[in-house]
Amino acid sequence: MADRKTEKATLENRALRENLEPLSIRALTSIDHMTLLARRGWLVEASTTGFLIEVERRDLAPKSFRDSLSLKDLEGDKVYLMIDAMNLEVGGVITRTHRLTKDRWQIAIDFREDAPEYWRECLVELLPKPGGF
């Protein structure tokens, strides 16, 4: 029962994610392991609490992940990535991974705790919405 209460509280603290025009990212890197996880990917959703990226199997850097059916081992890792179009490095914690297809994964990342709320709000406002380009 306590798990359901915790899960409900967590969901209530999450902001709704907005769909984005896919925005190229690069160099998804684990700070915990100082390892390049993915060479590139796409930012596809964002909110004031975090964002969702998609990566292709071929772009995963460690061979063990390219050969794996799951990226669950990454959950909890502190990471950063680069959004080239904005010349911005963004960091956070991987909270969830999900395999979409044989060759594509979604990775949910929550912003770092020290990221100011007004900064997160401004970032989400600046990201391109579908049909915005």
Q: Is 100 part of any domain?
A: yes
Query: Model-level pTM?
Result: 0.82
Domain count, the chain: 1
pLDDT at 11 over 80: no
Residue 35 resides in a domain: yes
pLDDT in tens, 34-68: 999 999 999 999 999 999 999 999 999 988 888 88
How far apart are alpha carbons 2 and 115 in whole angstroms? Answer: 29
**Does residue 18 register a pLDDT over 80?**
no
Looking at residue 132, its pLDDT comes to 59
Tell me the CATH number at 87.
2.40.10
Answer yes or no: is 133 within a domain: no
Contact criterion met (CB below 8 Å) for 14 and 119: no
Q: Is residue 111 part of a domain?
A: yes
In a domain, residue 109? The reply is yes
Could you give phi then psi for residue 44, rounded to 5 degrees?
-120, -20
User: Per the domain annotation, does 56 fall within a domain?
Assistant: yes
Q: Which domain holds residue 107?
A: 28-126
